[in-house]
């Protein structure tokens, strides 16, 4: 059995302000660093064999908290970056609604390609799914922690599980420094074992 623990990064100032991050390289804030330190022992207890992280600093620095406990190196993979939010990146969600009302309404309604140069969900899913498949194949039979981003994690999991957009919309977003656990059996394929695992009592933030 291969186990993937798909871990969302800790809090950032842009998370707290509901500002669209996308692929902007925004660092963890003090709360985010604390969240990573608190979550790291829980993940270390699961005896990971490898750690892979998005190259954006908020995910890489989250992974570093686990690496400090386990002694494992962190491998960087740019394919694990968050969804690219095009012309919305850097804007508050309230500003997106004001400046891009049609595209924002389509996004809220679940349109997988709302416009405004936002990366289509199909492309995000393929990018993340390919990366996760390769990571799992390289470490078959092991436990791998993948430090990534909220929207990317959702689409990547959906790609592995074969879930379409309508199903994924019913799954709650990962909280900061919480994770999803997937298992792969050679005969049975991928299975969801747990979602939003963690003990940090913080309100959920948009996976943007």
Q: What angle do CA 191, 126, 10 make, to 5 degrees?
A: 70
Q: What are the tens digits of pLDDT across the range 40-73? A: 999 999 999 999 999 999 999 999 999 999 999 9
> What pTM was estimated for this model as a whole?
0.94
- Structure tokens that stand for 111 in this block: 């349109």
The 3-state DSSP class for residue 207 equals: coil
The 3-state DSSP class for residue 135 equals: helix
Average pLDDT over residues 106-117: 97
How far apart CA 190 and CA 2 sit, in angstroms, is 9
Q: What are the tens digits of pLDDT across the range 84-106? A: 999 999 999 999 999 999 999 99
Q: Does the pLDDT value for residue 116 go beyond 70?
A: yes
Beta strands in the chain (DSSP E): 2-8, 50-53, 74-76, 143-148, 179-185, 189-197
Mean pLDDT, the chain, integer: 95
Give the pLDDT band (50/70/90) at residue 206: low
Q: What are the tens digits of pLDDT across the range 132-188? A: 999 999 999 999 999 999 999 999 999 999 999 889 999 999 999 999 999 999 999
Give the pLDDT band (50/70/90) at residue 80: very high
Q: What is the pLDDT of residue 199?
A: 74
Active site positions, annotated: 9, 82
Give the pLDDT band (50/70/90) at residue 205: low
Number of Cα atoms under 13 Å in the Cβ half of residue 197:
17
Q: What is the pLDDT of residue 105?
A: 98
């Amino acid at each position: 059995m291969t186990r993937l623990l798909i871990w969302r990064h800790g809090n950032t100032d842009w998370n707290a302000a509901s500002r669209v991050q996308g692929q902007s390289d925004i660092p963890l804030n003090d709360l985010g660093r604390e969240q990573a330190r608190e979550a790291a022992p829980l993940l270390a207890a699961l005896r990971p064999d490898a750690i892979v992280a998005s190259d954006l600093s908020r995910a890489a620095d989250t992974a570093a908290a686990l690496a400090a406990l386990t002694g494992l190196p962190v491998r960087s993979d740019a394919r694990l970056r968050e969804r690219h939010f095009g012309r919305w990146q850097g804007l508050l969600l309230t500003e997106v609604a004001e400046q891009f009302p049609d595209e924002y309404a389509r996004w809220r309604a679940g349109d997988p390609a709302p416009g405004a140069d936002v990366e289509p969900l199909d492309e995000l899913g393929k990018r993340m799914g390919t990366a996760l498949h390769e990571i799992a194949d390289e470490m078959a039979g092991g436990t791998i922690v993948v430090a990534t981003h909220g929207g990317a994690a959702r689409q990547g999991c959906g790609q592995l599980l074969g879930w379409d957009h309508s199903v994924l919309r019913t799954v709650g977003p990962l909280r900061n420094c919480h994770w999803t656990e997937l298992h792969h059996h050679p005969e049975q394929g991928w299975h969801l074992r747990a979602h939003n695992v963690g003990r940090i009592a913080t309100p959920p933030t948009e996976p943007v």
